[in-house]
Structure 1
Amino acid sequence: MGILLRLAVNAVALWIATLLISGIYLDTDSVIGQIGTLVAVAAIFGVVNAILRPIIKTVGCAFYVFTLGLIALVVNGLLFLLTGWIADQLGLPFKVEGVLSAILGALIVGVISWAINLAIPDKD
């Protein structure tokens, strides 16, 4: 149940990012298509973060220390851009245009996910 809740939270955060940033958008007008796309992209984003983020943090540990963690914004943006590329390769109507849009989108998704997860407590 926790995975489904986190998937829904990330889908809502992605939807808000598409509303706020002009470089991130959905190419479908159907509400059902938008919901399905957002859930699929949230799943892709979760898998990309689960697989690549620990590797990048381990390999780039010195950059994280040297930049006092600010490189995490760029890394998150690049992972968001990768998510958009994978979604495009899978034929999903989710587009991310440019690194700046990706960095802002990742920042918005991260902040909104964090805020929603604060409002919904874990049962652990």
Structure 2
Amino acid sequence: MRFVIWLLTNAIALATAAWLVDGVRFTGPSSGTAELEHKWPTLLLVALILGVVTSVVKPVITLLSLPFVIVTLGLFLLVINAAMLELTGWLARQLDLGFRVDGFWSAVGGAIVITVMTWVVDAFVGDERR
């Protein structure tokens, strides 16, 4: 159950980022039931990729860049989150999933939206670890 909530949280955050940020998008139909039928499997797969990238790659990058994180009082974490979103976009492109992140600033905007949405959804759903 915890995995499903985690995956849905990532999917909601990604969908919101694709809706709000111009350079973060899913390709395919853009309206009606065809859009939903085409995009929901892709959304779940990209959410899974983002979760794996965030769980595996991000801690290593954060540890290696710890001096930058400290000097910037944590703002460098935003750059790391943007890089994780760009890596997810690259992996999705390699797997031909129909998800794109167009550039660094789009990734930064998407990372901000994803972070905020994750906080909001976690606040509503609750955290089992508490």
Sort the TM-score into its range (normalised by shorter chain).
over 0.9
SS at match of 1:95: strand
Query: TM-score if structure 2 supplies the norm length?
Result: 0.91
Match of 1:65 among 64, 70, 82: 70
Residues in 1 aligned to 2:128 and 2:17: alpha-carbon distance in whole angstroms:
28
**Which structure 1 residue ranges, 5 or more long, are not aligned?**
none
CA distance in 2, matches of 1:97, 1:91: 15
Corresponding letter in the other structure for 2:55 = A
Bigger mean CA deviation after superposition, 26-35 or 111-120: 26-35
Once the two structures are overlaid, the 10-residue window that deviates more, 23-32 or 90-99, is 23-32
What is the TM-score of this pair, normalised by structure 1?
0.96
8 Å CA contact 2:13–2:113 kept in 1: the answer is: yes
Q: What is residue 9 of structure 1 aligned with on the other side? A: 9
Detail structure 1 runs of 4+ shifted over 6 Å in the superposition: none
Asked whether 1:106 is paired with 2:111, we answer yes
Corresponding pairs, count = 124
1:123 Cα deviation (Å)? 3.5
Deviation track 1:35-76 (CA, whole Å, cap 9, x = no partner) reads: 111110000000001111111121111111111000001110
Q: Kindly provide the amino acid, as one letter, of the partner of residue 109 in structure 1.
A: I
Overall identity of the aligned pairs, in %? 36
Matches within 5 A, 1:76-95: 76-95=81-100
